[in-house]
Amino acid sequence: MLLGILFGAIRRYFRYQELANCIGQVDDRMLFDIGCSRSELYAEAWVRAEPRADD
């Protein structure tokens, strides 16, 4: 069970890193146009990195 939790956390981290890399490519002008801050997008990326039902 502990091993499953560990692997789940690792998968979540890699999903977050993938989303964070995409967010890092967005320039400040686009963020201003969208009306979001970079920190809001990173927070949403962490939420979306949650384990999915099909995992």
Residue 1 pLDDT: 85
Return the higher-pLDDT residue of 50 and 16.
16
For the entire predicted model, the pTM comes to 0.74
Residue 54 pLDDT: 57
Residue 19 pLDDT: 92
Question: Please, where are the H alpha helices in the chain?
Answer: 2-24, 28-34, 38-48
Segments making up each domain of the chain, as ranges: 13-48
For residue 13, give every residue at least 6 positions away whose Cβ sits within 8 Å of its Cβ, in sequence order, or none: 49
User: 1-48, pLDDT tens digit by residue?
Assistant: 899 899 999 999 999 999 999 999 999 999 999 999 999 999 999 999
Q: How far apart are the first and last CA of the chain?
A: 15
Residue 55 pLDDT: 54
Per DSSP, the three-state class of 54 is: coil
Cα separation, 22 vs 46, in Å, equals 13
